[in-house]
Amino acid sequence: MSTQGYEEELRSERAYIAGLYARLDAERARVKGAYDAALLGTGGTPVERDSEVRALAATAKRLDVADNGLCFGRLDTASGEHSYIGRIGLFDEGDGYEPVLLDWRAPASRAFYVATAANPEGMRRRRQFHTRGRRVVEFTDEVLGRPDGDERGDAALLAAVNAPRGTGMRDIVATIQAEQDDIIRLDHPGVLVIEGGPGTGKTVVALHRVAYLLYTQRERMERHGVLVVGPNPAFLNHIGRVLPSLGESDVVFTTPGDLVPGLRVTAEDEPGVARLKGSLEILDVLAAAVADRQRLPASPLPVELRDVALRIDAGTAEWAREEARASGLPHNEARSVFTEIVTYVLTERAIARIGRGWLTREDREAWEQLRADLLKDLAEDEAFTAALDELWPVLTPAALLSSLYSSPERLRAAGGDPALARVDGEAWTVSDVPLLDELVDLLGRDGTVDRAAERERKKEAEYAAGVLDTMVDRRDMMDDEDHLFAQDLLYAEDLAERFLEQDTRELVERAAADRDWTYRHVVVDEAQELSEMDWRVLMRRCPGRSFTVVGDLAQRRSAAGATSWGAVLEPYVPGRWVYRSLTVNYRTPAEIMTVAAALLAEFAPGVRPPESVRACGVRPWSRRVDGDGWAAAIEEFTRDEAGREGTSVVIGPPGVPGTVPASGTKGLEFDAVLVVAPERILAEGPRGAAELYVALTRATQRLGVLHRDPLPPALAGLVEAGEPVRSGDRRPV
């Protein structure tokens, strides 16, 4: 294309996209008008109006995020027709309601991502726009169908992967590659495993798959939402804006340590203890710990009523325990069965004593009246309640597990490993979360708490109804045209009906606070780190077993983590999971990946490293540090990077000030990375090599390594950078 022809095309494209923004603004105005009308409307029930307001608010959010990069490409067919691709779909409201902008998730948009020179999908040209704000700066064309053409237009992709990193992950909606698009659009109702080495984009592919599923199955999915589970809060902050940037907000982000609402996790267990807690064998320990609290009295327990003295003996308690266990109910719910049997025995004995000589079973009315009086006395008797609490106590997960950890006797009785013992039973760790979640089901609900909650709910509803009654009384005494009163009455109606019929919190808020909430789809990132017990928690959260599982077995650091995907998934979804791999590294330049691959070959020789799509032209380096030179070298690195655009991080083992552990950077990426003391990271345990592999592959541009001892042989590919750094040195790193 000549320069003059290019400029004419650019003006034409600018005009077209300006027209798209005009349509977007008009649609925003229309939705806002409908939203305002719904807020003030009086038609339908309050619940119907509330539902309409929520739906319009969600539509407004999706329109708002479309402003950034509304249209990013164009496809031209071999016959000369063309279509524009963007973040959302827009339509010509004239005859035919023809699309003027295709949503990137629509089937008709797929060719934009998968058409190649060898398989052009009926397309002749792919055009990509480069925009700043609402203005098209330039465009690049890739002509498809030529034998010597490239598979993909690399200009946009390389511009994206070479750009400095910001504070969070960016969406890849404009640069999705064919390998990634196949996974995003995969039609599979069960579990999809996406495995890929560092920099392959597996996380962002999984998030775009969520956006695609919400687009294609919105009615089914949006009422229950999506759960995204990541390794740590820093990772969740990093990825947290991808889905909102694609217009999707009904997503709960959490870590494995936050899956039980209200629990405060303060630490991680030692590898051996984490392995014990993560194994399914811990289920037997938990069941035994519950059974151990269902006790028989060592000697009869006295219950003194007004007219008779009673005792709960071992025989009575054993019969009651057998019946309660045979009911199959959770512990707290089975207490009612236990109580019923004990109460029956005691009242039968009491009636026999009190009525001796004058009362027979034939006198049913007197018999039942005496039983009712005794039942009332037992319900109010503190000794009887204390006896029940001793033999079959109401338990909470936290109280049971805490007492198990802090009592060597109870731990021994439950068959638990002595390594599980600790002084502070409530010093909760990440590995405790699935155990506490399991105990919720083993123990069941506390009926007394449920009854109290029901009473509180009724009180709130009665208050709302009282407000409504007051307003109705006021209406009878006021002018029918009093507008302010009409608004007050509408508020009162809303208040009453919402208390009675609907929780008015947003879906994300309700789901995150409810342990029993179930999701339509769950994304699990860094899934190789999850234990067998972690998977039980997640399967409870998604009865439909619709998962996107993201991980890399070669990067596993947890002693309780997965060693194979089949071992993890087959017990839950036999034959309903599929595996896909990503093989191209879009993050790590070839110079850095060469060093990391040498380490990978040592600790995981059967794993093939991903192939980098680019080189950065900068060799990764190493430098020897003597004495107390860590601080000086780290300071130099930090000062040097502060003058550059982008992000940086210093990764090191515990005990080195100014560093973060590799585990805290999993899933993250930085323009520059400084790895401190790799020899000590390797010495941290059996997964030290995986830790170091993670550290080496976080950089997108520059990698440096500081070491005091000789470098491990696997890092021989690093370029030695000058003399050792000593305390007080200020040479640039």
What are the start-end ranges of the E strands in 378-427? none
- 199 assigned to a ligand binding site: yes
- 198 assigned to a ligand binding site: yes
Distance of CA 260 to the CA centre of its chain: 12
Q: Using CA atoms, how far apart are residues 55 and 520, in angstroms rounded to an integer? A: 19
- 197 assigned to a ligand binding site: yes
- 588 assigned to a ligand binding site: no
List, in sequence order, every residue forming a beta bridge with 611; answer none if it has no partner: 584
Q: Using CA atoms, how far apart are residues 391 and 318, in angstroms rounded to an integer? A: 10
Percentages of the chain per state (helix, strand, coil), in multiples of 5: 50, 15, 35
| CA atoms within 13 A of residue 581's CA, in its CB half-sphere | 13
Q: Mention every residue, 6+ apart, whose C-beta is less than 8 A from residue 533.
A: 277, 278, 279, 280, 282, 431, 434, 435, 438, 560
Q: Mention every residue, 6+ apart, whose C-beta is less than 8 A from residue 217.
A: 520
Q: Using CA atoms, how far apart are residues 402 and 425, in angstroms rounded to an integer? A: 4
Burial of 206: CB neighbours in 10 Å, binned 0-12, 13-18, 19+: buried
**Nearest C-alpha neighbor of 612 from the set 158, 235, 128:** 158
| CA atoms within 13 A of residue 538's CA, in its CB half-sphere | 31
Q: Please give the helix or strand (H or E) that residue 574 lies within, else none.
A: none
Q: Using CA atoms, how far apart are residues 719 and 451, in angstroms rounded to an integer? A: 70
- Residue 398 in contact with residue 426, Cβ under 8 Å? yes
Q: Using CA atoms, how far apart are residues 671 and 649, in angstroms rounded to an integer? A: 9
Q: Mention every residue, 6+ apart, whose C-beta is less than 8 A from residue 61.
A: 244, 247, 249
- 563 assigned to a ligand binding site: no
CA distances from 283 to 4, 261, 279, 414, 705 (A): 74, 21, 8, 11, 44
- Residue 565 in contact with residue 579, Cβ under 8 Å? yes
Residue where the block lists tokens 């018999």 = 367
Distance of CA 225 to the CA centre of its chain: 11
State the amino acid at position 335 in one-letter form.
Answer: R
DSSP, collapsed to helix, strand or coil, labels residue 726 as coil
- Residue 65 in contact with residue 246, Cβ under 8 Å? yes
Burial of 132: CB neighbours in 10 Å, binned 0-12, 13-18, 19+: exposed
- 32 assigned to a ligand binding site: no
Distance of CA 530 to the CA centre of its chain: 13
Q: Mention every residue, 6+ apart, whose C-beta is less than 8 A from residue 516.
A: none
Q: Using CA atoms, how far apart are residues 725 and 423, in angstroms rounded to an integer? A: 44
- Residue 374 in contact with residue 347, Cβ under 8 Å? yes
Q: Using CA atoms, how far apart are residues 587 and 584, in angstroms rounded to an integer? A: 9
- Residue 20 in contact with residue 70, Cβ under 8 Å? yes
State the amino acid at position 151 in one-letter form.
Answer: E
Q: Mention every residue, 6+ apart, whose C-beta is less than 8 A from residue 191.
A: 545, 546, 547, 548, 549, 569, 573, 576, 577, 578
Q: What is the DSSP letter of 151?
A: S
**Nearest C-alpha neighbor of 161 from the set 526, 674, 585, 551:** 585
Q: Using CA atoms, how far apart are residues 149 and 296, in angstroms rounded to an integer? A: 81
List, as residue ranges, the binding site for ATP. 196-203
List, as residue ranges, the binding site. 196-203
